[in-house]
Amino acid sequence: MKEFILGAIVAVNLMAFFLFGIDKWKARTGRRRVPEARLLLLAGATGALGAWCGMSVFRHKSRKVSFRWKLVLATLVNGLWIWLWLRK
């Protein structure tokens, strides 16, 4: 069971990382963007590391202070989920 949960965490982090890249590409090409709520939802659902890495690698949303604060909050939620999982 722990292997499955660990695999799911890795998958969510990869999804968050690549979603930042996709959103950056869409922003540059004038296409319909990925909603911020979706990016933050993935970050809060154990994908915070992937979100931070995606923001750094793709240099996307890094200047937007309000988004960064929301991402910090999502990271805290992410930490809470992982802490509760490790307590068992």
What pLDDT score does 32 carry? Answer: 96
Average pLDDT of the chain, as a whole number: 91
What pLDDT score does 83 carry? Answer: 87
pLDDT tens digits, one per residue of 11-38:
999 999 999 999 999 999 999 999 999 9
For residue 86, the surrounding DSSP H or E stretch is helix 65-87
pLDDT tens digits, one per residue of 36-76:
999 999 998 889 999 999 999 999 888 889 999 999 999 99
**Interacting residues of 12 by C-beta distance below 8 A, sequence separation 6+:** 42, 45, 46, 47, 50
Task: Find the distance separating the first CA and the last CA of the chain, reported in whole Å.
Answer: 12
What pLDDT score does 78 carry? Answer: 85
- Domain boundaries in the chain? 2-87
Whole-angstrom Cα distance, residue 23 to residue 36? 10
